[in-house]
Structure 1
Amino acid sequence: MKAKFASLLPLLGVLVALPVVAAGLPDRLERPSRMTPLAAQSQLTDLQRVGDDMVMVGASGHVLVHGAGGSLKQSQVPVDLLLTAVHFVDDKFGWAVGHDGVILHSTDAGKSWSKQLDGRAIGKLMLDWAESEVARLEEASAAAPDDEALSTALDNAYFAVDDARAGVEAGPSRPLLDVWFRSAQEGWAVGAYGMIVHTRDGGQNWTFVSTLENPERLHLNTVLGLADGSLLVAGEGGRVHRSSDGGQTWEPVRKLTDASLYKLLQVADGRLLALGFGGTLLLSRDQGQNWQSVTLPVRASLYGADELSDGTLLLVGQGGVLLVSQDGQDFKRWQAPGKTALLGVASFSQEVLALVGNDGLQFLSRAVLTEQLQ
């Protein structure tokens, strides 16, 4: 397995050694991120255009805001741990998630952040849910002692309680890997070992989502709301989960590929992309009901994607690969000189792209990109 942090490099959510990391630095959730002039050269994992600015997140709780005029400022952040994803619903309100189950919130376009949730609180949410399930199923089983389905469900609930208690005792060791908000009030965050949390009040209160069937507790790497109002979650082992009612119920799980999926993107014309391990790229033209595989000129794992205002599609990934397409079918390759992983891409201006990855922030002229495409 590979991971989206520091020395384990950059896949979005196939994680190892997390209890060691969490146990070794239990105070990371309480220690503010250190201000450093080198933040832009350290690992950055995700970015988003917010108004005229670019907001980036990454290692050691770093959040950077790059202004259109060229200013680059590091934000005050209350935690010192890897942030894995950022999502703004408008030019003010945004959320970032990361290791130890942390969820951060900004109301000023990323200039300042507060902590809304962490792994300790998530562990308590999971334990409360599991204990309530045991109580409910014990009562139902007592009324129908010969019901084998109830008996099996009760055994699973006992296991869930034991697992949740072990998680609480171990501390906040489960990272969140992606976050998406439908509005300034409602959003979801997903992460390792099948974790999903949901809020309806802008993050003041969160609930543990128990309705997604994932008995293997596979990692959930990416979450996205679609234009038709449905919610899509994808992750380890090529599984895709779909809900049409905000996560209350889910359609039967679909396995699109053996390769883990790290990113979902819906482009302006409604097409849906799913990208991931080993150069996997899947395309849907019907809101994720049917998918087709797209052949790429590389087998590099893909971690980030964006659509430019003119419809150009950009994919970035392992080894500094950047793929460019005008139609979502035929891709050309650009190679970053350093060949370290690129984790995110976005348009900084009409002429310049912003790239983030293990070597931090870099800019690429679209003119240079066009000249050097293979």
Structure 2
Amino acid sequence: MKAKFALLLPLLGVLVAQPVVAAGLPDRLERPSRITPLAAQSLLTDLQQVGDNIVMVGASGHVLVQGADTSPMQSQVPVDLLLTAVHFGDAQHGWAVGHDGVILHSTDAGLSWRKQLDGRDIGKLMLDWAEAEVARLEEASAESPDDEALATALDNAYFAVDDAKAGVEAGPSRPLLDVWFRNAKEGWAVGAYGMIVHTRDGGQSWTFVAGLDNPERLHLNSVLGLDDGTLLVAGEGGRLHRSSDGGNTWAAAQQLTDASLYKLVQLSDGRVLTLGFNGTLQVSHDQGQGWRRIALPVEASLYGATQLEDGTLLLAGQGGTLLASRDGEKFQRWQAANKVALLGVAPFNGESLLLIGSDGLKRLSRADLKEQLQ
């Protein structure tokens, strides 16, 4: 699974040809995304409603802002690489993440963006943490030379230093896969090989988070904060990580399933859902402590979700699958004619839905959805 990141959209099985950087051209972290009328027809990976608009991100650094009565407008973006997720902490302040560990920030509801961080910076954060951990454990081991647990932790810290140094030398190669902000100041971004970074000042500074129970460094695909302050992270191999104190400490990882989990969603009544590979859907009624599998009429992998004003839950997935449910338990299926992957869905303009995926942006009327549900 970890080999996918060179040529594939992480974890979704959607082929994405990465741009080849020719001699003399600037690095894609330094090259602005190209403004093109075809942006709405290329891969789009995530979207969020921001005020009356929908903000979408995707391939080649594309960010689109869809207004209620306008065509989608492409934003100015300083990087030319795959963006994987977007989240706004309020109506103006948003963050987008993607390949090469990039983190972008907008202060104008997605109309313009600037780079806050990339994989080169994250590599240095990881190295600083690992070296500090070695110094701390060497001092503790000197005071307790017979403590086997300390000796094991020190060996792991030595490995972490070597790994971080190798990452710094290799350059920004680890993608970020999701981002979530509690407000305009505090947020988290998660990604490949167990990577998490955290900010308390709106992204002016970031810290590397190392407290999760993830010794295999499995990919972390989704992060979500709940209304009660609980923080959840889901990822590869069905692992679920939970913090009840805002990320300061983490409980032992839960393995909900063997299938990888791609998305976390909280519904209006407080229920939390995990979506994942091969039709995996699980629900928690207690802020992520306990989980129950929900049976679905298809085995399509699920990547995105939204809840409409009337409570209807929509799940977007593989092969053009859109699942609809009034109660979050029993689902009906709508199938896109071209069967391309759907990666997200959002309500739009009262009468329509916006669908995003491997062939870009599509609009579906709610009347057509209702008529065609199976």
Fold match (TM-score > 0.5): yes
Residues 6 and 357 (structure 1 numbering): CA distance in 2 closer, same or farther, change over 3 Å? farther
CA distance in 2, matches of 1:305, 1:73: 23
The runs of 5 or more residues in structure 2 that have no matched partner are none
Residues 337 and 4 (structure 1 numbering): CA distance in 2 closer, same or farther, change over 3 Å? farther
Q: Does 1:170 align with 2:207?
A: no
CA distance in 2, matches of 1:85, 1:141: 42
Residues 6 and 299 (structure 1 numbering): CA distance in 2 closer, same or farther, change over 3 Å? farther
Residue by residue over 1:50-89, the C-alpha shift from the partner in whole angstroms, topping out at 9 and shown as x without a partner, is 1111110000000001111123210000000000000012
Which residue in 2 is equivalent to 1:357?
Answer: 357
User: What TM-score comes out, normalization by structure 2 length?
Assistant: 0.95
Residues 16 and 210 (structure 1 numbering): CA distance in 2 closer, same or farther, change over 3 Å? farther
SS of 2:232's equivalent? strand
Which residue in 2 is equivalent to 1:75?
Answer: 75
CA distance in 2, matches of 1:283, 1:307: 15
Question: Is the contact made by 2:8 and 2:14 (CA closer than 8 Å) also made in structure 1?
Answer: no
Query: What fraction of aligned residue pairs are identical, expressed as a percent?
Result: 78
SS of 1:100's equivalent? helix
Which residue in 1 is equivalent to 2:157?
Answer: 157
Residue type of the partner of 2:141? S
CA distance in 2, matches of 1:293, 1:83: 30
Which residue in 1 is equivalent to 2:51?
Answer: 51
Residues 211 and 7 (structure 1 numbering): CA distance in 2 closer, same or farther, change over 3 Å? closer
Residues 60 and 3 (structure 1 numbering): CA distance in 2 closer, same or farther, change over 3 Å? farther
Which residue in 2 is equivalent to 1:88?
Answer: 88
Q: What is the alpha-carbon root mean square deviation over aligned residues?
A: 2.3
SS of 2:152's equivalent? helix
SS of 2:160's equivalent? helix
Residues 14 and 8 (structure 1 numbering): CA distance in 2 closer, same or farther, change over 3 Å? closer
Counterparts of residues 1-374 of structure 1 (less than 5 Å): 1=1, 8-9=8-9, 11=11, 27-374=27-374
Question: Is the contact made by 2:46 and 2:85 (CA closer than 8 Å) also made in structure 1?
Answer: yes
Residue type of the partner of 1:85? A
Question: Is the contact made by 1:22 and 1:100 (CA closer than 8 Å) also made in structure 2?
Answer: no
Residue by residue over 1:19-66, the C-alpha shift from the partner in whole angstroms, topping out at 9 and shown as x without a partner, is x98999981110000110000000000011111111100000000011
Q: How many residues align?
A: 373
Moved more, 243-252 or 218-227: 243-252
Residues 237 and 16 (structure 1 numbering): CA distance in 2 closer, same or farther, change over 3 Å? farther
Moved more, 228-237 or 26-35: 26-35
Residues 262 and 22 (structure 1 numbering): CA distance in 2 closer, same or farther, change over 3 Å? farther
Question: Is the contact made by 1:187 and 1:198 (CA closer than 8 Å) also made in structure 2?
Answer: yes
CA distance in 2, matches of 1:188, 1:141: 32
SS of 1:28's equivalent? coil
Residues 198 and 17 (structure 1 numbering): CA distance in 2 closer, same or farther, change over 3 Å? farther
Q: Which has the higher contact order (CA 8 A, sep 6+)?
A: 1
Give runs of ≥4 in structure 1 deviating > 2 Å. Answer: 1-18, 20-26
Residue by residue over 1:322-373, the C-alpha shift from the partner in whole angstroms, topping out at 9 and shown as x without a partner, is 0000000000000011111010111012210000000000000000000001
SS of 1:27's equivalent? coil
Residues 15 and 67 (structure 1 numbering): CA distance in 2 closer, same or farther, change over 3 Å? closer
Residue by residue over 1:208-241, the C-alpha shift from the partner in whole angstroms, topping out at 9 and shown as x without a partner, is 0011121000000000001111100000011100
Residue type of the partner of 2:196? I
Residues 9 and 190 (structure 1 numbering): CA distance in 2 closer, same or farther, change over 3 Å? closer
CA distance in 2, matches of 1:14, 1:233: 23
Residues 22 and 153 (structure 1 numbering): CA distance in 2 closer, same or farther, change over 3 Å? farther
Residues 4 and 82 (structure 1 numbering): CA distance in 2 closer, same or farther, change over 3 Å? farther
The runs of 5 or more residues in structure 1 that have no matched partner are none
CA distance in 1, matches of 2:332, 2:46: 23
